[in-house]
Every structure is written in structure tokens, then in C-alpha cells.
């Protein structure tokens, strides 16, 4: 284990809250306290927002593109130099197995450079040519300008990645930022603040981090009239609260919320290719992923065959101590989260689902917040276990009769974040994929997710996009300027 930075970054200084209050950070694999973090207050958040507002309004940060690029390249180099420390902190906070930390360490560090270069090359003033108007020809130009002060509220499942994804493009676009990291993973935010303060020329107030164990601190950030935009990743319930808090000032909100994604396995699919990958996706990161296709839809004609493949894969999935290379499933983030997962499994059984494997706590892992890889069959599409996001290593399986039936079951959800189709026929797979009401779809395991492609949900899975050119322009607004030719 490794304790992280206990202080927060406010107006260029690494500080504790005035009372000196802290809260514990628990390692989910040992259930032991690994260290503490500063327990910031609403007053601390107000100071951070004030610093960000002043830095945006009075400094050259929003106008000096080359300086922003310089600072973010410094940040990239510093993160690269500190990546092994960051990796140990990630494993300590989250329980993420060391084997699968690449997507949570190397990938976000590389994205810092990507956004620095993307923002440097971006065309902030676009001439759209001459336009006929009742008052004669007018030339129109589009000026892309930063939103202003951006408040970023991040979750605990992939904390360093999302701390970077929600702040670095905002900074490169010329905004100032206040980051509120999740209570369970404060160090992935405070370490980022320490590195900014110690290793970069980013001016005081441009980037701030407020750690806190109190929900009202994040709520204060959402409601503050000095904040121009809120970006948030997390539960749909919290997303609704953020929308309500932002409504009085009509501030822009960028939301990546919950998911209950379906994987439609068509009757011509290669089960031995598609289903072991589906089992792996359910277990890696302990199922704590919003894009996880946790609802498996199998054709009734091959139902038992598919269940057997899934069962074998889940019963042999390597889980255990996250510090041991080779393990790919670690613990849930907390005892509260484990109880939620086990409670939803019990709800599924009560509603008529059949337990194929798992369903409880592994006997050989009595310490740590572990849950067995769990496979539930014969799941009613309308049941709680099929409708509510589990955030655990659980797959539900439901049979279907026709492609139309499968699409209807997949779309029977308030969510629309992700989805998957498996088939030997690409035309058939595309016909199904385009009918799924979701923002992103994978076909035959080919990932839709990447820094160069927009990622966002439909319905109650969110608003707006991360990644791609669209993800960068979320942090900008367009001023249309009419002028003489």
C-alpha cells in the first residue's frame, strides 16, 4: 500500500482545511486504513471557485494558447515520471489489480499529450464566408471561446483516468477548473493537484482540487453561480441532482451517467469467441464499469450452450489480491458496495432468476470486499436485477426468440450508454446495432471507445460527449461574429 497526498490544492497552494479535519482512505483488499485525506468544507469549495473565477477573469490563461500547451506538456512529463507512484496509489484506493492498471495509468497519461496537441492545432476562429442578408452581404466568423470556470465531479471506479478526462481538455480549451474527486478515491485527485503545483507552471487558481467526505461540498460546486459549466461522471440519481442544482443559473452540464447495457448474441455467433470475452468484461474491474454489457441476451435455440460457456469462463476467472500479477478481478470498492451487489443478486433470485454460479463471497478471500463472479439465468427483463445498474461482477442472461425480440429486450431500459452485438453476419449485426437505443455499440468485441471517437449516452445515461473532436468542443462555446465583407 502507499498513502497519497493528504492536502488539497486551492489557489496555487497545497493546504488542509482550516479545522485540520481528515477522513480515512481504506484499502479494499485488506479493509485496512491506508492513510487520510483533507476533509474539505463548503468554505474551502467557495475559496477554490473564487480562485478559479479570478484566474479566468484576470489572467491570460484563456488567451495564451502556447502557454497552455507548455504547461500541459509539463504535466504529461511529470505524470510519466510519477506513474509508478500513481499506480500504487490507484491499487491502494480502488483495489484495481496491477495486471489491468494500464488503462487507468498509461492511457490517461498519454491522453494529456493528446489533448495538449489537439488544442494547439484546433481552429478557434473559422471564417464561414459571405452570407446574403436583408442589409447586404455579411462575412461571418465563428469564434470558439472557453466556457469559463468548469467544475468537475468525478467517480471512484477509474479515478485518475476520469480526473484527467474531465479536466485536461477543459484546461487546454482555456477554462479554469475546480475538481471534486470522489470520497472513496481522494488521492487520485490530490496527487494530480500536487503534481500541478510542484511540477508545472500552471498559474495559481487555474486548477484547484477540493477533497471532502461530505456530499454538500460537491453540491456547492454544482450550484455556485460563479461556475459556468459542470462535468460529471457517476450515477444517474446524482446526475439528476446536479441538473437540478445547475438549473437556477442555467449552466452547461456534461454528464456521463449510469448504464445497463445489453449484449445481443445472435444465433450465428461464435459463442467460444464472444462469451468468454463477455465474462471477462463482467469481472475485470470487479464489474465496476458503466459501459459493462451486463445483460446477455442468448437465442433460445442455443441457450444452454451459451450458459455453459459463460459458466466455465466465470468459474475460472483469476481473482484475488490486486497486488499479485495475473489476478484480473479484485475487490469491490467498499463494504457498502459489496452489500449492494449481494443484495441485487438476492433480489434476482427472489424474482425467479436461476443461480448458475457464484452469488456470494469467495471462501478463500475472507478479508477484502470480494464478490464471486456471478451468473444468473432465466432473468425476467422487467425485474430489478435486469433494470438496475449492479456495478459488480454479475451477468444476467435472458433468452429471446427473434432478432426483433432481442432488440426490444435490449431497449427495455431507462439507460442508453453502451451495447454489443455478436454475429457472423456483419449486415445482420449492423441492422441490430442501429436499432439499439444507445450511444455506443461494439460488434464482435471491437471497441467503440477511444480518445479519437465521441463517447456519450442517450436517454438517462447522460448529456454530451467525451473524447473525439466533439469532446473537446464541449468545453467551448461558439460566438458568431457578423462583419463587413
CB-based contact 92:1 (threshold 8 Å): yes
Residue 448 lies in a domain: no
Cell of 66: 502556447
CATH number for the domain including 46?
A: 3.40.605.10
344-400 residue pLDDT tens: 999 999 999 999 999 999 999 999 999 999 999 999 999 999 999 999 999 999 999
Rounded-to-integer distance, Cα 407 and Cα 402, Å: 9
Rounded-to-integer distance, Cα 275 and Cα 254, Å: 33
Cell of 467: 473524447
List active site positions. 256
Residue 229 lies in a domain: yes
3-state SS of the chain is: CCCCCCCEEECCEEECCCCCCEEEEEECCCCEEEEEEECCCHHHHHHHHHHHHHHHHHCCCCCCHHHHHHHHHHHHHHHHHCHHHHHHHHHHHHCCCHHHCHHHCHHHHHHHHHHHHHHHHCCCEEEEEEECCCCCCEEEEEEEEECCEEEEECCCCCHHHHHHHHHHHHHHCCCEEEEECCCCCCHHHHHHHHHHHHHCCCCCCCEEECCCCCHHHHHHHHHCCCCCEEEEECCHHHHHHHHHHHHHHCCEEEEECCCCCEEEECCCCCHHHHHHHHHHHHHHHHHCCCCCCCEEEEEHHHHHHHHHHHHHHHHCCCECCCCCCCCCECCCCCHHHHHHHHHHHHHHHHCCCEEEECCCCCCCCCCCCCCCCEEEECCCCCCHHHHCCCCCCEEEEEEECCHHHHHHHHCCCCCCCCEEEECCCHHHHHHHHCCCCCCCCEECCECCCCCCCCECCCHHHEECCECHHHHHHCCEEEEEEEECC
- Do 472 and 422 lie in one domain? The reply is no
- Nearest Cα to Cα of residue 49 among 202, 193, 206: 206
- Do 424 and 466 lie in one domain? The reply is no
Q: At what angle do helices 403-410 and 426-433 cross, to 10 degrees?
A: 40
Looking at residue 434, what is its pLDDT? 97
Nearest 5°: phi and psi at 354?
Answer: -105, 125
Residue 451 lies in a domain: no
Rounded-to-integer distance, Cα 180 and Cα 403, Å: 44
- Do 245 and 294 lie in one domain? The reply is no
Q: Name beta bridge partners: 420.
A: 263, 442
Domain with 250, as residue range(s), is 8-257+461-483
- Do 291 and 225 lie in one domain? The reply is no
- Do 366 and 379 lie in one domain? The reply is yes
CATH number for the domain including 354?
A: 3.40.309.10
- Do 285 and 198 lie in one domain? The reply is no
CB-based contact 456:255 (threshold 8 Å): no
Nearest 5°: phi and psi at 156?
Answer: -100, -10
Rounded-to-integer distance, Cα 402 and Cα 386, Å: 19
Q: How far is CA 248 from CA 224, 228, 259, in A?
A: 10, 12, 27
Looking at residue 65, what is its pLDDT? 98
Q: Give the sheet arrangement for strand 262-265, strand by strand.
A: 354-357, 374-377, 394-400, 295-299, 262-265, 419-422, 442-443
Please give the tally of structural domains in the chain.
2
- Do 426 and 476 lie in one domain? The reply is no
389-429 residue pLDDT tens: 999 999 999 999 999 999 999 999 999 999 999 999 999 99
Residue 455 lies in a domain: no
- Do 157 and 13 lie in one domain? The reply is yes
Looking at residue 361, what is its pLDDT? 97
Residue 454 lies in a domain: no
Nearest 5°: phi and psi at 191?
Answer: -65, -40
CB-based contact 209:181 (threshold 8 Å): yes
Q: Count Cβ atoms within 10 A of the Cβ of residue 352 and give its class: 0-12 exposed, 13-18 middle, 19 or more buried.
A: exposed
- Do 280 and 189 lie in one domain? The reply is no
Residue 187 lies in a domain: yes
Cβ neighbors of 366 (< 8 A, separation 6 or more) are none
Looking at residue 485, what is its pLDDT? 85
- Do 433 and 466 lie in one domain? The reply is no
CA Rg, the chain, in Å?
Answer: 23
Looking at residue 39, what is its pLDDT? 98
Residue 277 lies in a domain: yes
CB-based contact 341:332 (threshold 8 Å): yes
Q: How far is CA 186 from CA 13, 144, 164, 319, 475, in A?
A: 17, 33, 14, 25, 24
- Do 129 and 24 lie in one domain? The reply is yes
Q: Enumerate residue ranges in the chain where pLDDT < 50.
A: none
Residue 1 lies in a domain: no
Within a 10 A sphere around the Cβ of 418, how many other Cβ atoms? 26
Cβ neighbors of 261 (< 8 A, separation 6 or more) are 291, 292, 293, 294, 295, 415, 417, 418, 419, 420, 438
Looking at residue 2, what is its pLDDT? 82
- Do 109 and 204 lie in one domain? The reply is yes
Amino acid at each position: 500500500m502507499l498513502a497519497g497526498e493528504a492536502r488539497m490544492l486551492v489557489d496555487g497552494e497545497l493546504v488542509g482545511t482550516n479545522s485540520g479535519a481528515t477522513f480515512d482512505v481504506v484499502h479494499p483488499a485488506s479493509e485496512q486504513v491506508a492513510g487520510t485525506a483533507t476533509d474539505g468544507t463548503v468554505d474551502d469549495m467557495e475559496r477554490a471557485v473564487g480562485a478559479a473565477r479570478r484566474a479566468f477573469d484576470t489572467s491570460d490563461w484563456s488567451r495564451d494558447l502556447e502557454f497552455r500547451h507548455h504547461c500541459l506538456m509539463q504535466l504529461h512529463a511529470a505524470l510519466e515520471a510519477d506513474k509508478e507512484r500513481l499506480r500504487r496509489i490507484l491499487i491502494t484506493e480502488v483495489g484495481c489489480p496491477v495486471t489491468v492498471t494500464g488503462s487507468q495509468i498509461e492511457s490517461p497519461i498519454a491522453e494529456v499529450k493528446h489533448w495538449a496537441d489537439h488544442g494547439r492545432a484546433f481552429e478557434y476562429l473559422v471564417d464561414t464566408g459571405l452570407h446574403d442578408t436583408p442589409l447586404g452581404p455579411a462575412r461571418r466568423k465563428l469564434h470558439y471561446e472557453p466556457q469559463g470556470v468548469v467544475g468537475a465531479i468525478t467517480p471512484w471506479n477509474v479515478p485518475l483516468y476520469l480526473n484527467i478526462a474531465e479536466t485536461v481538455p477543459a484546461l487546454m480549451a482555456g477554462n479554469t477548473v475546480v475538481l471534486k474527486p470522489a470520497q472513496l478515491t481522494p488521492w487520485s485527485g490530490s496527487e494530480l493537484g500536487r503534481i500541478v503545483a510542484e511540477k508545472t507552471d500552471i498559474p495559481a487558481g487555474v486548477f484547484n482540487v477540493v477533497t471532502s467526505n461530505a456530499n454538500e461540498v460537491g453540491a456547492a460546486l454544482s450550484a455556485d453561480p460563479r461556475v459556468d459549466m459542470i462535468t460529471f461522471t457517476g450515477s444517474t440519481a446524482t446526475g439528476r441532482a446536479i441538473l437540478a442544482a445547475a438549473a437556477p443559473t442555467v449552466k452547461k452540464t456534461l454528464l456521463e451517467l449510469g448504464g445497463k447495457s445489453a449484449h445481443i448474441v445472435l444465433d450465428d455467433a461464435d459463442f467460444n469467441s464472444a462469451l468468454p470475452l463477455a465474462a471477462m468484461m463482467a469481472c475485470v474491474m470487479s464489474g465496476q464499469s458503466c459501459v459493462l454489457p451486463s445483460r446477455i441476451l442468448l437465442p433460445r435455440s442455443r441457450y444452454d450452450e451459451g450458459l455453459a460457456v459463460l459458466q466455465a469462463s466465470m468459474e475460472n476467472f483469476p481473482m484475488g489480491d490486486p497486488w499479485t500479477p495475473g489476478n484480473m478481478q479484485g475487490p469491490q470498492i467498499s463494504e457498502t458496495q459489496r452489500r449492494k451487489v449481494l443484495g441485487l443478486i438476492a433480489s434476482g433470485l427472489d424474482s425467479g432468476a436461476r443461480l448458475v454460479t457464484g452469488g456470494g463471497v469467495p471462501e478463500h478471500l475472507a478479508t477484502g470486499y470480494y464478490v464471486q463472479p456471478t451468473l444468473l439465468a432465466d432473468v425476467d427483463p422487467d425485474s430489478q436485477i435486469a433494470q438496475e445498474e449492479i456495478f459488480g461482477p454479475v451477468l444476467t442472461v435472458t433468452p429471446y426468440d427473434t432478432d426483433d425480440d432481442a432488440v426490444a429486450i435490449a431497449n427495455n431500459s431507462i439507460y442508453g450508454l453502451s451495447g454489443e452485438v455478436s454475429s457472423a453476419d456483419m449486415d445482420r449485426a449492423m441492422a441490430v446495432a442501429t436499432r439499439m437505443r444507445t450511444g455506443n455499440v461494439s460488434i464482435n468485441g471491437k471497441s467503440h471507445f477511444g480518445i479519437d471517437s465521441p463517447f456519450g449516452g442517450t436517454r438517462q445515461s447522460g448529456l454530451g460527449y467525451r473524447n473525439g473532436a466533439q469532446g473537446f468542443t464541449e468545453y467551448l462555446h461558439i460566438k458568431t461574429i457578423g462583419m463587413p465583407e
